[in-house]
Amino acid sequence: MARIAFSNPPGAPQPQSRYSQAALIEGEGRRLVISGQVGVRPDGSTVPHPEDQIDQALANLGAVLAAHGMAPANIVKVTVFLTETALVPIWRMKRDAFMAGHAPTSTLLIVAGLASGDFQVEVEAEAVA
């Protein structure tokens, strides 16, 4: 099984919210690379409100993890794309609740748009077990 050590080493800036600067993965294990999850329900309908899109994207991420016998604690890297800076504090609050104290490595980008004009958030991740 893979061993994961998260760190915020001296000489690198300390994170401004709950994430880690690095994840060292050693040993045998499984690696799961997850495509970007958006605010689309399992029935294919798009969630209309940005805050609810964040909830749905995280629910979709959780479903993909669970389908592979993993949970948020297995995530080593998350990349988030938001279309509005105003969503950053909302994202952080909802991310922290979803991660339940887990702090994987993270990149957050504010982008001009996503694959559909209806999408306001997209979350991709990598996990190991």
Could you report the per-residue pLDDT of 65-94, keeping only the tens digit for each?
Answer: 999 999 999 999 999 999 999 999 999 999
- Residues 70, 126, 73, 67: what is their CA dihedral angle, to the nearest 10 degrees? -20
Residue 111 domain-assigned?
Answer: yes
CATH code of the domain covering residue 78 = 3.30.1330.40
Considering the domain boundaries, does residue 24 fall inside one?
no
- Is 124 a member of any domain? yes
| Whether the Cβ atoms of residue 2 and residue 28 lie closer than 8 Å to each other | yes
Query: What is the Cα–Cα distance from 114 to 129, expressed in whole angstroms?
Result: 30
| Residue 70 covered by a domain | yes
Total of domains in the chain: 1
What pTM, to 2 d.p., does this model score? 0.91
Look up the domain containing 111 and give its range: 30-128
The counts of H helices and E strands in the chain are 2, 6
Convert the pLDDT of each residue in 3-47 to its tens digit: 999 999 999 999 989 999 999 999 999 999 999 999 999 999 999
Residue 85 forms part of a structural domain:
yes
